[in-house]
Amino acid sequence: MKKSKTLWLISFFGVLFTLSGIVLGGGIIEKCLELNGDYSLQKVMVAVKKQLDPQGLNTFTMDEVTRLEKELSNKDISAAARSGLINNSVSFNSIAYPASINGVDSRYPKFTDVSLEKGSFITSRQEEEGAMVAVIDYDLALDIFKTANVTGQKLEIFGAVFIITGVVKKDDSLMGKLTDSGISQVYIPVGVMLELDRTAGIETLQIRTGDASTLDQNRNSISSALRQIGKNPSNYSLSDYNIKLALMKQLPKLYPFVLGAVSIITLTLYLKKTLSRLYSHIRSGCRTDYILNVVKSSLAYIGACLLEMLLSAAGIVLLWLGIRFELYIPPNYIPDELINISYYQDLLKAAIQGSVQNMGYIASRPELLVNTSNILLDFIVFISAVLGAVLLYAGFRESGYLSIDIKGMTAVFAVLMAVSLAILAMTAFFADLPFMPDIKSILVVWAFIYIKILFNSKREESGI
C-alpha cells in the first residue's frame, strides 16, 4: 500500500511538472505581451551602449528623433531620456524623496503598459506645449501624500514646479514584483527633462515595426535610417522584439514535441510489428491452404489487425498535427557553411563583447520585462522537461509492479491530469498570469501517457 502511494505521488508530480511548462509557460508569454503596451513586442528597441559612450555623446536629441521619424515613415517612435545624475529626487514642502526621473513622450504607454490608478498620462498636447506635468507611481503618492488622490498636487523636480496629472497603478503580479527596481518612478515630458537637466539625454528609442518579420530586415532598415541621420549603428544595441517573441513562443512547445515524437515512433514500430504479424499469419496459413480460404477463416483476426494499423496510422497523423511547428533560428546563428570555425569564433566574440559593453547599463522597463520573462520561461521549461521526464519515467516503470488493469490505470492518470491542471490554474491566478493552456500540447501529453499505459499493458500480457 505504501509503495502504491509513493508511485502515485511520483506520477502526479511527473504529470504536474510536465504540464507546468505548457500552462505557465504560455501564461508568462501572454503576461509579457500584455505588459509591453498596445504594440506588444512588435517593435525594435534602440539603446545606447553605455560602456562605449560614458560622456553621453551618442544620445539622441529631439531633432534627431524627428529626423529619424521622417526616415522611418509610417512607424511610431517613442523616446525615453534619463538623467546623468547618480541620485535623483523630487521635493514636496522642502523634503526630498528619492525617485527615478524618466523623460518620456505621449506614445510611451503604447510601447509599455502604464495602467493608471488616478488621472491621465502625458498627452501629446502637453508634450508639444512643454507643460510642467508629472505622473508618479502609487508608492510615491502614498509616501508623500498618504493617498493616491493627488492629481492637481505640486512637486518640485530639477528645481521646477510640476503638477501631478496621474498616478500609475501598483503592479502586484509576479512579473511586476520581479521587475520592480525598488525605486519610485516619475514620468515627465521628455522635452522638458532635456531642458531642465543638462546631463540628461535620450538613451532609448522604441520603434514600432510595420510587420512581425523575423528575417532581420527590421534591424537593417533602422540601421540604415540611423546612418542617414549621422549615427553609427555599432554604437547602439538594436533589439528586434519580434525575434525575441518568436524564440519565446517556441520554447514551451519543445518538450511536447519530444513527447509527441516518441509517441509517433512507438506507434510506427507497433504498426510495423502488426503488419509483420499479419503477413506471417497469412503466409503460415498459405502453406497448407489457399489464400482465399485463409482470409475467410481469419476474417476476425485480419480485421482486428487492420483496425489496429488504421488506428495507429490515424494516431501518427494526429500527433504530428499536434506537435508540428515552424522552428525558428535567428539569421545570425546560421552560418554560410556548416563547418566554419571562424564564424563560431566571431559569434562567441560578439557575445562576450556585448556583455562587456553592457556592464553598468541600467535596463529599461521593456528590457527588464522581456529578460525576466525569458529567465522564468527557461526555468519552468527546464523543470518541466527534466523533472517531468524523470518522474514520469519512474512512475511508468514502477506501475508495472501493480496489478491494475488498463482501464484503472487510464482513470488514475486522467484524474492526475485534471488535478494538475487545476493546481496550475490556481498557481496562474495567484501569480496574476493569464491561464493560457495550449490544448494541442496538453492532448499530446495525454496521448503520450495513454500510449505508454497501453503498451505497458500489452507487454505485461505478452510476458515481456
Model pLDDT, residue 364: 74
Phi, psi of 203 (to 5 degrees): -100, -20
CB-neighbour burial class of residue 300 (10 A; exposed 0-12, middle 13-18, buried 19+): exposed
Question: Per-residue pLDDT tens for 50-103?
Answer: 765 566 678 898 999 999 988 888 678 999 998 877 788 899 988 999 999 999
In whole angstroms, how far apart are CA 377 and each of 102, 134, 248, 324? 29, 35, 8, 20
Model pLDDT, residue 150: 92
Cell 549615427 appears where?
231
CB 192 within 8 A of CB 103: yes
Q: Is 72 helix (H, G, I), strand (E, B) or coil?
A: coil
First-last CA distance in the chain: 25
Instruction: Map 388-405 to HEC letters.
Output: HHHHHHHHHHHHCCCCCC
Model pLDDT, residue 143: 93
CB-neighbour burial class of residue 339 (10 A; exposed 0-12, middle 13-18, buried 19+): exposed
Model pLDDT, residue 259: 93
10-residue stretch averages of pLDDT, the chain, 464 residues long: 74 93 92 85 86 72 91 85 85 91 92 89 92 94 92 93 94 83 90 91 88 73 91 88 88 92 93 90 85 84 89 92 79 55 48 45 74 91 92 80 72 92 94 89 93 75 51
Q: How far apart, in whole angstroms, are the C-alpha atoms of residue 324 and residue 154?
A: 57
Q: Is 96 helix (H, G, I), strand (E, B) or coil?
A: strand
Model pLDDT, residue 362: 60
CB 170 within 8 A of CB 110: no
Model pLDDT, residue 342: 53
What is residue 438's DSSP assignment? -
CB-neighbour burial class of residue 327 (10 A; exposed 0-12, middle 13-18, buried 19+): exposed
Phi, psi of 100 (to 5 degrees): -95, 120
Question: Per-residue pLDDT tens for 200-240?
Answer: 889 999 999 876 666 678 888 899 999 999 999 988 888 88
Q: How far apart, in whole angstroms, are the C-alpha atoms of residue 37 and residue 175?
A: 14
pTM given for the model: 0.80
Model pLDDT, residue 464: 46
Spell out a b/e string for 151-190, using b for 16 or more CB atoms within 10 Å of the CB, else e: bebebbbbeeebebbbbbbebeebbbeebeeeebbbbbbb
Cell 559593453 appears where?
357
Q: Find, among 413, 401, 394, the residue nearest to 451 by Cα.
A: 413
Q: Are strands 133-137 and 160-168 parallel, antiparallel or unpaired?
A: parallel
Model pLDDT, residue 403: 63
Model pLDDT, residue 382: 93
CB 121 within 8 A of CB 152: no
What is residue 60's DSSP assignment? B
Contacts 24+ apart (CB under 8 A), 237-240: 237/45, 237/46, 237/47, 237/48, 237/49, 237/354, 237/357, 237/358, 238/44, 238/45, 238/46, 239/44, 239/45, 239/47, 239/367, 240/44, 240/209, 240/214, 240/216
DSSP H or E stretch at residue 187: strand 185-189
Model pLDDT, residue 319: 92
What would the grid cell of residue 148 be? 493616491
CB 294 within 8 A of CB 314: no
